[in-house]
Chain A
């Protein structure tokens, strides 16, 4: 660059080269190695699968308004909730926050130019798409009716659906998340900017790190487990099927060894987002930073030794159940530590109720209900009553939809100005958040009652207990409100792309490194690698400087006034 040319940071926003406008060809998107562009690819594809999963959900809710199952055949109904579960878990929840916002923000938050392995990152998106495509193909060719859990021997011996194809899809999508996790681990270990010590890292980065550890340790196990199901299904050898001499409970052990930690793959990233939002919009450092950071690691560790709580009624020994029950109570502790720390942060904070913060508060409300009901399920005696009822369905939706999805939306609203350089309408966003919160509770709270009353999950015919219909109708009505709440952001966010006001570098006055670059950032994030001298969330210092500057301006103005 010649000496006379303007430095990039001096150009005005519209003309400055950034990661979005460097090239507009489709090829430049499909072959990009820029973590931010890959994040956008993920955002679009994940939203697509979320929409599909949502459509399946609306069929389920529609069907349940009548106790006699008038709309769908039983078989179709089974395929519907399986499609819903498989898509939502493997193609939405697991990759959602890590692959989009982790990808987008993590390198910037630690002051790196990109992830450690950009090509692997792109490969991971392609694997996601191939896995998603295979799952979609399996669903279109006639579907799978095993539920997302693929329990044997049903899945390997009796199911008539395209189980093997779906399993191959899940297997491949699993490698996508393994590669993302591996990339994050290497990045966090080795790519931090000068001065960015481990305990200066934003808590979102800690959460992504813990998530990656779970991904890397857990996903290969479920991959091999599902591969064994496919072997049993195609070759007819008895690994899991008792009719062939196999052990069905072994499948459940291996499946939940991944799938319990997997629920933390879904929620930990969201917890990381919470720490960012709550600190930023309370303008305070996170209360007990170290505790929040270590609780992520504690969750990652403890999460691996509680899987048996999914098998209290599957025939594992009572002693095993007892131990698993105890450890399940223990795993609730780090989650509670986080929750209390967030609340302590908000307490006496200078709370600014902008839309991302509304999502954060929504998360807190829903996550607490989800977590506390987990304790009922972790208690042996109550779980025997509640196992496989709508109570379980409500529990995990409070956490996965109420928690993880709220976190996803919060992250989307928080980082959208950075991603696109545009501000959306905060008022519409608040309406959206309120719709989601109200719709969500209306949908899922009645399911706790239904489950307590004994309604089994995965049934679509409950004519034997018509008193359940009122709750089911309530739930379905809530689902429509919820759907509205999810569709609304699509409108005002897309609207903002064209008509939104320029966001500027730091619309929220946040302290993270990602807010020091332009919005949207340059391809390599920073023109100069930042040097970190402060702890994360040093809002007090920032606000002090701002306060001093404002005073300065006021003084000047007062002075000028007296001159006139």
Chain B
């Protein structure tokens, strides 16, 4: 987090919570907390990745067929969108450190727009799946050669739960970045005296992107049969 451009906030100016001695300690503690939280997130997704590995390993040839129901172009578009949003988020952190709040606000705005764009693409993808009866459950239908219905359904269970859990994280991201942007727009003391809130939310957002970087190839870019 220490960069050449990072201007250290004046301790007298920043809101110091009573349990901390100084602002350095407060900031470092928040970062440890955030990283620990991200570790729990990794474990959280990790359970699903484990199921993924086992299923794919057991049914590899069938998975080659099933995944063709997913459109790698839409997934690729979403990957680009998220990667770009990670870049704008990093810019937001940078401008926050330089205390250029207008630019920070712009960057946060673009990040939120990207997140919405991601969800819109997801929406179209998912509605197509619903139309084709590919949502696991009572209405699931499967008539393609080369893969059994059960395996296909399990593929889509994983697809929906993993990308769904990821989408929930995107939505939470929109909310927290939105709150952050509002506070920045108001030049609220909690964000205009210290870049740390932006940095922490940035970490979260990079994590969300990173998860997608794994999900995209794992679901969309499997070898073809």
Contact = CB atoms under 8 A, between A and B. Distances in A.
Interface string A197-221: 0000000000000000000111111
Contacts of A246: 154
Nearest to A190: B29
Given A238-B150, A244-B150, A189 B51 contact: no
Nearest to B24: A190
A220 B36 contact: no
Interface stretch (A229-237, A272-280, A461-469): A229-237
Interface stretch (A60-68, A114-122, A481-489): A114-122
Interface string A278-296: 0000000000000000000
Contact of A185 (B17, B32, B44, B153): B32
Contact of A220 (B21, B30, B44): B44
Report, as a range, how many residues of chain A touch the other chain: 35 or more
B19 A237 contact: no
B54 A247 contact: yes
Interface in B35-86: 36-37, 39-41, 43-48, 50-51, 54
B41 to A, nearest CB: 7
A182 B137 contact: no
B33 A235 contact: no
B43 A221 contact: yes
Contact of B54 (A117, A250, A529): A250
A434 B4 CA distance: 64
B37 A524 contact: no
B47 A254 contact: yes
Interface string A440-457: 000000000000000000
A220 B40 contact: yes
A367 to B, nearest CB: 29
Residue with the highest number of chain B CB atoms closer than 10 Å, among A112, A115, A189: A189
A221 B46 contact: yes
Report, as a range, how many residues of chain B touch the other chain: 35 or more
A218 B43 contact: yes
A178 interface: yes
A123 to B, nearest CB: 13
B137 A235 contact: yes
B36 A191 contact: no
Contact of A225 (B21, B47, B140): B47
Q: Is the interface of B mostly helix, strand, loop or mixed?
A: helix
Contact of A237 (B18, B33, B50, B136): B136
Contacts of A254: 47, 50-51
B200 to A, nearest CB: 12
B18 A524 contact: yes
A245 B44 CA distance: 24
Contact of A113 (B19, B44, B136, B150): B19
Contacts of B54: 247, 250
A182 B37 contact: yes
B32 A115 contact: no
Interface in A95-128: 107, 112-118
A529 B32 CA distance: 22
B28 interface: yes
Nearest to A234: B137
B157 A239 contact: yes
A191 B29 contact: yes
A337 interface: no
Contacts of A115: 19
Nearest to B148: A245
Interface string A227-263: 0100100011111000011110010001000000000
B12 interface: no
A216 B36 contact: yes
A261 B19 CA distance: 31
A87 interface: no
Contacts of A529: 21
Interface string A306-342: 0000000000000000000000000000000000000
A342 B5 CA distance: 52
A322 B40 CA distance: 30
Nearest to A183: B33
B153 A238 contact: yes
B147 interface: no
A221 B154 CA distance: 19
A116 B47 contact: no
Given A186-B36, A238-B150, A524-B18, A217 B28 contact: no
A239 B154 contact: yes
B157 A116 contact: no
Contacts of A220: 40-41, 43-44, 46-47
A223 interface: yes
A216 B43 CA distance: 8
B25 A190 contact: yes
Contact of B136 (A112, A185, A189, A235): A235
B1 interface: no
B39 A216 contact: yes
B151 interface: yes
Nearest to B41: A220
B143 to A, nearest CB: 17
A22 interface: no
A353 interface: no
B161 interface: yes
Interface string B6-20: 000000000001111
19 contacts: A113-B18, A116-B19, A116-B32, A118-B19, A182-B40, A183-B33, A185-B36, A186-B29, A190-B29, A191-B20, A216-B40, A220-B43, A224-B48, A236-B137, A237-B137, A239-B154, A245-B150, A245-B153, A247-B54
The 3 lowest CB-CB distance pairs between A and B, nearest first, are: A245-B150, A224-B47, A220-B44
Interface of A: 107, 112-118, 178, 181-183, 185-187, 189-191, 216-221, 223-225, 228, 231, 235-239, 244-247, 250, 254, 524, 529
Given A186-B30, A224-B44, A239-B154, 16 more contacts: A114-B19, A189-B32, A190-B28, A191-B19, A216-B39, A220-B40, A220-B43, A224-B45, A225-B47, A228-B51, A236-B138, A239-B157, A245-B150, A245-B153, A250-B51, A250-B54
